[in-house]
A and B are shown apart, each in its own frame.
Chain A
Amino acid sequence: MPKMLFTIPEGRFSDSQIVAVQAEMVARYQHLMQSNDAVLCFWSVLPQGQSYVAGQQDDIYIALIEVPENFNQEHREELLLKFNEAFAEAAGISLEKPLITMADSSKVDEYLSANRNRLKSFSKLSFLIGTMVHAYRSKKQHGFAALPTNL
């Protein structure tokens, strides 16, 4: 099942706005990819003071979108611009603000694996379980699956 991982600043959107942005992005994904597959979405909500651009504190808006292995490059570039437009429009930010990556499944796995592997060995399983529990509770309470930014 493809994944979309979003990172946004805390306090910028209400829960209902995040749910609406997610619904729009999933609908665009299914339309543009001509697929009815479900898409797993996770959100990292960054507290103020925890993100920097060009060495200055700044809000960041990131989307990592998983696509099938060896995805056609011409199609990828076309879709990247469409997803950028969709994300900016749905989130109410300028077209220049989002950082969007459409990565093949193996690259997404490589990144997530590198993220887990930097943890202390015996903490990896509890980190994974804790992350999933947090995401599940967030989904039930807020309508979207948030990953814990700070543990």
Chain B
Amino acid sequence: MPLYNLACRSSLAAETRQKVATAIMHTHCDQTGAPAQFVNVVFMDNYPLPSEQTVSVLGGVRTGGNRTPESIRRLKDALHNAIAEALGESTTAVGMSLVGIPSNWIVEGGEVMPEPGSEEEQAVAQAHGA
């Protein structure tokens, strides 16, 4: 976690998918300090999106720890801009919503996820090769 699920109006080229996945990883890590190996991205094709959108992003992100409503809003805005740029589209072409999930509802890397920004998070990252 995070898990970013991208519903696309049509199938994106492999190169575009790579650019978007890379942009999401960098943006998420820059904004939250979370280790890159926790950033998951899934693409789904041919979804009937609102007419102005080519991609709609639904992100499941951890809450708690050092994450405040303000930091989540900044994350959402930064992702919105970064994904639009990677797609070569305006931000109106990208739908964006986030659902917050408490860290301790999740197991990843074989362990219950620590709170965002905690020392335990960095320890988990180091243990898994970040």
Contacts and interface: CB of A to CB of B under 8 A. Distances in A.
B56 A118 contact: yes
Interface of B: 1, 3, 5, 7, 11, 14, 17-18, 21-22, 24-26, 36-51, 56, 58, 60, 95, 97, 99, 101, 104-110, 112, 128
Given A51-B42, A115-B5, A96 B128 contact: yes
Contacts of B47: 118-119, 151
The 9 closest A-B CB pairs, nearest first, are A123-B48, A52-B21, A55-B25, A118-B56, A150-B45, A95-B110, A52-B41, A151-B46, A54-B36
Contacts of A57: 18, 21
B48 A52 contact: no
Contact of A49 (B17, B46, B106): B17
B7 A80 contact: no
A51 B101 contact: no
Is chain B's interface secondary structure helix, strand, loop, or mixed overall? mixed
Interface stretch (A11-19, A34-42, A102-110): A102-110
Interface in A41-78: 46, 49-57, 60, 62, 73, 76-77
Interface residues of A, number: 44
B105 A103 contact: yes
B10 to A, nearest CB: 10
Contacts of A54: 25, 36-39
A102 B113 CA distance: 12
Contact of B49 (A7, A49, A52, A119): A119
B127 to A, nearest CB: 10
Given A53-B37, A110-B99, A118-B95, A99 B106 contact: yes
A121 B51 CA distance: 10
B41 A51 contact: yes
Contacts of A52: 17-18, 21, 25, 40-42
A73 B22 CA distance: 34
Contacts of B14: 49
Interface string A1-44: 00000010000000000000000000000000000000000000
